[in-house]
Homo-oligomer: A and B are copies of this chain.
């Protein structure tokens, strides 16, 4: 499902090892700090395994780097540093609004859709 798993994994692994060593931590120290097993961390650093989002999050904390950095290194997030140019969509705002019931959200969304996609069925 991933485009180039090996490339991304190698890049992430190298970065992880680099960061760990520059913090003067052993595999076991970091693994315990992060809450994963040391063999698994070893495998991550050598690009043999693909960490989940949770693990990446923990690693980011342990290494004091931003989670986004690791996501990019892992090839999960694209390079876009800040992405909100994507459109601060009306859809998002409606969905996120705590003052609306689900039905109201759906209704409002329908109205919006009918405006944006005039070719849609009525």
Chain A 20-44 per-residue mask, 1 if CB under 8 angstroms from chain B, else 0: 0111100000000001000000000
Chain B residue contacts of A76, Cβ below 8 A: 53-54, 57
Among A86, A90, A120, residue most surrounded by chain B Cβ atoms (within 10 Å): A90
For the complex formed by this chain, how many copies does it contain in all? 2
Chain B residue contacts of A95, Cβ below 8 A: 15, 18-19, 22, 65
Cα distance A56–B71 in the bound complex, in angstroms:
12
| Number of A positions contacting B (CB below 8 A) | 58
A92: CB under 8 A from chain B?
yes
Given contacts A58-B1, A106-B21, A106-B22, is CB(A90)–CB(B94) below 8 Å?
A: yes
Chain A interfacial positions (CB closer than 8 Å to B): 1-2, 15, 18-19, 21-24, 35, 52-58, 64-67, 69, 71, 74, 76-77, 82-97, 99-102, 104-109, 111-113, 115-116, 120
